[in-house]
Amino acid sequence: MEPLQWWGSVALTALELLATAAFALSGIIEAARKRMDVVGVCVVAFLTAFGGGTLRDLLLDQRPFFWVREQYALAGVFLLCLAALLFMRRRHVAITERMIEWPDAIGLGLFCASGVHQAHLLGMPPMVSIMMGVVTAVFGGVLRDMICNEIPATLRNHRPYAVCAFAGTLAYLLLAALEAPAWVAMSACVAVATTLRALAMLRHWSLPAWKI
Amino acid sequence: MEPLQWWGSVALTALELLATAAFALSGIIEAARKRMDVVGVCVVAFLTAFGGGTLRDLLLDQRPFFWVREQYALAGVFLLCLAALLFMRRRHVAITERMIEWPDAIGLGLFCASGVHQAHLLGMPPMVSIMMGVVTAVFGGVLRDMICNEIPATLRNHRPYAVCAFAGTLAYLLLAALEAPAWVAMSACVAVATTLRALAMLRHWSLPAWKI
Amino acid sequence: MEPLQWWGSVALTALELLATAAFALSGIIEAARKRMDVVGVCVVAFLTAFGGGTLRDLLLDQRPFFWVREQYALAGVFLLCLAALLFMRRRHVAITERMIEWPDAIGLGLFCASGVHQAHLLGMPPMVSIMMGVVTAVFGGVLRDMICNEIPATLRNHRPYAVCAFAGTLAYLLLAALEAPAWVAMSACVAVATTLRALAMLRHWSLPAWKI
């Protein structure tokens, strides 16, 4: 492998681990809010970090799951849970929540790019590819809220989150239709989704309220 | 194709679309009640319209999913969500709810016939075929209520709904055992399930209460 | 088959049926608490009894599901639901709950052994095998609580349950690594998980509380 390529792949893996950790931490915090025990913290963290990608692989019938191929991610989330149980105190929660906003936005972009790319490679029609991108990015959080007995926040807080993933998948499909190489289309998807999410956070954008 | 057959298949597709729209609308109404945003409305509508059939295909290991083969259904539900977001007001909700009762009853019959037929074709044993018919018909609604953080209405409102699907699958299996052609068995299933559901609505039948 | 082997297999099937009945009964009791109707009781009982194993088979891509191969289990749970609807009264609930604690502990061991063994046979890495053992043992109960609109008890009641299954899977993997025959490793898994669960119940062990 060329040195540049090697550095690129190291950077990508580092970003992916960071994003997975951010997703897992948001699960840990939610489990802490519900006063769950060690089992609950681990289950919710795993579900949040791997739920979206697993649902995508299940729907697209792709095996082995990515967490079977990349076991270090499983081990990493497990260690993160143990660390949180040992060291996390109430006063850390708000700080952690603010700190994970940015890696979470990166995760939104990466996860949605991986979903739309995988569906597109399998020859899925555009509407299905879009759906797979969005599902990969948001269903970890949806499953987290469902197991914590809440209406999923992303379905009703009027903050752009799934919508950013949606825009990212459109960018991917547009570039793929123009026969751009895969890495260009995926980078554009990540850039669009993450930038929109970052702008939405910085400018406090909100989705139009429904007149009902 | 013969003209009669052609008209039959057009009528069936029209009925299926009507039923899918009714299921999607019941999801949209539930999302509106929970004051969800545009993302929530779309997710709940898709889950209600396609959840039961997707769970059936997942359990029977059938790919591609019917919404991958029949993309116009996906596009139709998406347009329905947009239309509801633009035009639906509070005063329309009760009317819509009453209007979808009948297409919903037709959907109950059609979905349950498709479930039991597919399982039977795959050589599943009778108990599993019955279960697949009922799952296809009712799990869209169950998933809708689960994601909306409610106990699924169909599990506790004592109104015959899943029970009508159950009776329909029995009619199918009886006729299949008598070696009736598939379309006869499926029509009987739809007729039994939809008629029972209609009678249950008109006569306000309710399931016996449990003495507990 | 040798007589001894034959008796062994009869005893194992009897234990499995007992454990499945215990899981189903815990679902029936939960459905009764939520005042569900006959449909709700059946759905929750099936989900509790077969949910964990089905999720395992779905994740490991194993078909047919065990409840397709072993239909008598489906029929048994259905008859149990009917019997509960006919004969169970409020005063029986507390007694039943106490009576199922022991078969439930046996089920915890058996289900977790079947999960870890199946994953191990398929060549899954250790972390995934552990996860499959725990998922098989506890996700029936998790799905039961989710459909009943509760935070899953096993995630927050600080009583060792999933943790016992976890210990059992470790015993299995240790013996498998030492190249013990499968039945030895599985027996050790059942013994460790069930004994720990029994001790946890008898001595009222509880998981350390999280300082948050």
Q: What is the DSSP string of A37-92?
A: -HHHHHHHHHHHHHHHHHHHHHHHT--S-HHHH-HHHHHHHHHHHHHHHHH--HHH
Give the span between the Cα atoms of A96 and A103, in whole angstroms.
Answer: 11
Asked if A31's CB is within 8 angstroms of C155's CB, the reply is yes
Q: Which residue has the higher pLDDT, A90 or A136?
A: A136
pLDDT at A11 over 70: yes
Percent of chain B with pLDDT over 90: 71
- Which of these, B47, B185, B200, B196, lies nearest to B115 by C-alpha position? B185
Give dist(CA A27, CA A21) in Å, integer: 10
Distance CA B47, CA C17 (A): 34
* Residue closest to C31 by CA, chosen among B134, B156, B162: B156
From the list B125, B127, B154, the residue facing C39 with the nearest CB is B154
The pLDDT value recorded for residue A212 is 64
Tokens of C110: 């058996």
Q: Which chain B residue has its CA at the smallest distance from C148's CA?
A: B151
For residues A56 and A118, is the Cβ–Cβ distance under 8 A?
Answer: yes
For residue B195, is pLDDT > 80?
yes
Tell me whether residue C83 is in a domain: yes
- Interchain proximity B34–A156, CB inside 8 Å: yes
**pLDDT category, B191, cuts 50, 70, 90?**
very high
Chains near C with 3+ CB pairs less than 8 A apart are: A, B
Identify all chain A residues contacting B86, using CB atoms and an 8 Å cutoff: none
Q: Are B156 and C32 within 8 A, CB to CB? A: no
- Mean pLDDT, to the nearest integer, of A40-47? 95
Q: How many CB atoms lie within 10 A of CB C85?
A: 18
**Mutation for B interface: C34, C37, C62, C92, most B CBs within 10 A:** C37
Q: How many domains does chain A have?
A: 1
Quick one: which of A125, A124, A106 has its CA closest to A168? Answer: A106
From A76-80, B76-80, B150-154, C65-69, the region with the lowest mean pLDDT: C65-69
Among chain C residues, CA nearest to B150 = C149
Q: Phi-psi category of B123—alpha, beta or left, where left has phi over 0 and alpha has psi -120 to 50?
A: left
Q: What is the average per-residue pLDDT within B52-79?
A: 91
The tally of CA atoms less than 13 A away on the side-chain side of residue B84 is: 30
Identify the closest residue of chain B to C70 by CA–CA distance: B125
C59 to A65: CB separation less than 8 angstroms, yes or no: yes
CA angle, residues B145, B151, B157, in degrees to nearest 5: 100
Say if A3 falls within a structural domain. Answer: no
The whole domain housing B20 covers 11-202
Which pLDDT value is given to residue B188? 96
Neighbours of C69 (CB within 10 A): 10
Record the tokens describing residue B125, joined without a space.
Answer: 């044993």
Give the pLDDT of residue A129: 96
Has residue B58 got a pLDDT over 80? yes
Helices (H) and strands (E) in chain B, counts: 9, 0
Q: Is residue B207 included in any domain, yes or no?
A: no
> Where would I find the beta strands (DSSP E) of chain C?
none
- Report the C-alpha gap between A131 and B132 in whole angstroms: 25
Predicted confidence at residue C1, as pLDDT, reads: 56
Q: Do B128 and C71 touch (CB under 8 A)?
A: yes
Q: Which residues in A have their CB inside 8 Å of a CB on B? A: 58-59, 61, 124-125, 127-128, 131, 138, 142, 146, 149-152, 154-158, 161-163, 207-212
Q: Which residue has the tokens 């034959």?
A: C6
Nearest to A147 by CA among B20, C141, C98: C141
Structure tokens at A212: 């009902």
Q: Does residue A137 contact residue A193 with C-beta atoms inside 8 Å?
A: yes
Q: Which amino acid is at A31?
A: A
Please give the DSSP secondary-structure letter assigned to residue C59: H
**Predicted confidence band at B142 (pLDDT cuts at 50, 70, 90)?**
very high
Q: Is C142 part of a structural domain of the chain?
A: yes
Residue C206: strand, helix, or coil: coil
Q: What is the pTM of this model?
A: 0.93
Residue C6 lies in a domain: no
* Cβ proximity of A36 and C150 under 8 Å: no
> Residue C29 domain-assigned?
yes
Measure the CA–CA gap between A177 and C207, rounded to whole angstroms: 55
Flag if C38 and B207 touch (Cβ within 8 Å). yes
In a domain, C102, yes or no: yes
Q: What's the pLDDT score for residue B148? A: 95
The ipTM of this complex is 0.91
Residue C1 included in any domain: no
Q: Report CA torsion sign: A67, A72, A74, A76.
A: negative
Indicate whether B13 pLDDT > 90. no
**Separation of first and last alpha carbons in chain A:** 57
SS3 B21: helix
Contacts with B35 from chain A: Cβ below 8 Å: 156, 210, 212
Alpha-carbon gap: A163 to the closest alpha carbon of chain B (Å): 7
If you ran DSSP here, which 8-state letter would residue B64 be given? Answer: S
Which residues from A are below 8 Å from B44, CB to CB? 155
Is the peptide bond preceding residue C208 cis, with omega within 30 degrees of 0?
Answer: no
Q: Which pLDDT tens digits describe chain C residue by residue (212 residues)? A: 567 777 777 877 888 888 899 999 999 999 988 989 999 999 999 999 999 999 999 999 998 898 898 888 999 999 999 999 888 887 888 888 888 888 999 999 999 999 999 999 999 999 999 999 999 999 999 999 999 999 999 999 999 999 999 999 999 999 999 999 999 999 999 999 999 999 999 999 999 877 66
Q: Across residues A17-27, what is the average pLDDT?
A: 91
Q: How many CB pairs lie under 8 A apart between chains A and B?
A: 75
The residues near A118 (Cβ < 8 Å, ≥ 6 apart) are A56, A60, A62, A132
Nearest to C102 by CA among C159, C184, C18: C18
Residue with tokens 């009453």: B98
Minimal Cα–Cα distance from A40 to chain B, Å? 19
Instruction: Please state, in angstroms and rounded to a whole number, the distance separating the CA atoms of residues C44 and C148.
Output: 8
Is A58–B54 a contact, with Cβ atoms under 8 angstroms apart?
no
Contact call for A89 and C162, based on CB within 8 A? no
Contact C155 A40 (CB under 8 A): yes
Average pLDDT over every residue of A63-68: 88
Mean pLDDT of A22-38: 92
